[in-house]
Structure 1
Amino acid sequence: MKADWLLLTPLARFGDLGLLLLRWITGAFLIYQSYDNIFSAAGMDEFEKFLTQFGFPAPELTAPLCVWAQFLCGILFILGLLTRWAGLLTTFVFIVAVWMVHWPQDFPGWWPALILVFLGILFATAGAGRYSADALIERRRSHDRHPA
């Protein structure tokens, strides 16, 4: 009993709620940082110039791919839908960002992109948790395989 309080094991029952909140804030951030590039031609042009500045190949192609990946992953995280796929894609996008953009910066400059790499890894490995569209799909699949 004392070990439970020392290790705060009673908090484990809120793990799915923690995943839900983390998915929501991560998704909201990804949508926030990408929506203006999607809904504004000027925003996309600015992002293409940014990628050009850092030596990205074919910025006219990579800019929309990057922006749409972030935007769609943000939506998927919020819904908890295809969360593992969204996690892998987010990990890839932000590894590239760290490598191509943030590498010469100091550690605080890496931090936002680096956190998104590790959030992507977390969502890819842990999944979305109980409060998600993925969980609903899995319950349906399980029910279809083993009807009562």
Structure 2
Amino acid sequence: MSALVHFFSFVQGFSDLTLVIVRILAAIVFASHGWFKSFGKQKFRGSAERFAERGIPFPLLASYITSWSQLIAVPLLVLGFMTQWIALLLALEMIVAAWAKYMDTHAIFDGMDLPLGTLAICLVLFVLGPGAYSLDALL
């Protein structure tokens, strides 16, 4: 049992490095989705059409807001600057995305993995912050 306790104590020493990895992985996910919404084949109009189908009000405005907030969040997450505010904003966005996906399919597990997974990542960053290896920690 003491070996297990020793192991978990050892692993906890990597929490700041783990938060860097979580920030980078979150940035990759949001970069790909923000880029697709902004510069993909149908650009903002395609996202707006999908938003309208799911009943999101002001779909074109929502398309601009979501895509640009995701793209602006990318460098901020990587650098660890304003991390908790960015994580909160993105968490709210993921709650809306999960709700919209549910309203579209009325199935709890159909396509909910991405918004719920990214919501979990955002909540971790919101609660724990960016870690020691970040601009937030330096300021």
Name which of structure 1's ranges 17-26 and 113-122 shifts more when overlaid on structure 2. Answer: 113-122
Say yes or no: does 1:124 pair with 2:126.
yes
2 CA distance for matches of 1:64 and 1:75? 18
SS at match of 1:107: coil
**1:72: Cα distance to partner?**
1.6
The higher radius of gyration belongs to 1
CA offsets, 1:25-60, max 9 Å, x none?
Answer: 111110111113323583111111110111111111
Aligned to 2:94: 94
2 CA distance for matches of 1:112 and 1:71? 17
TM-score by length of 1: 0.83
**1:3: Cα distance to partner?**
4.7
Aligned to 1:144: none
Q: What amino acid sits opposite 1:30 in the alignment?
A: F
2 CA distance for matches of 1:66 and 1:39? 13
Aligned to 1:2: 3
Alpha-carbon RMSD across the aligned residues, in angstroms, is 1.8
Task: Count how many residue pairs are aligned between Structure 1 and Structure 2.
Answer: 136
Residue ranges of structure 1 left out of the alignment (5+ in a row): 138-148
Say yes or no: does 1:44 pair with 2:44.
yes
**1:4: Cα distance to partner?**
2.4
**Sequence identity of aligned pairs in percent?**
24
Q: How does 1:47-62 map to 2 (within 5 A)?
A: 47-62=47-62
Residue ranges of structure 2 left out of the alignment (5+ in a row): none
**1:73: Cα distance to partner?**
1.9
CA offsets, 1:58-110, max 9 Å, x none?
Answer: 11111101111112222211111100001100110000011112352342521
2 CA distance for matches of 1:10 and 1:40? 44
CA offsets, 1:6-39, max 9 Å, x none?
Answer: x521111111011000100111110111113323
Say yes or no: does 1:14 pair with 2:14.
yes
Choose between structure 1 and 2 for higher RCO, CA contacts under 8 A separated by at least 6 residues. Answer: 2
2 CA distance for matches of 1:36 and 1:63? 11
TM-score by length of 2: 0.88
Q: CA, structure 1 residues 108+55, in 2 after alignment: closer, same or farther (shift >3 Å)? A: closer
Aligned to 1:32: 32
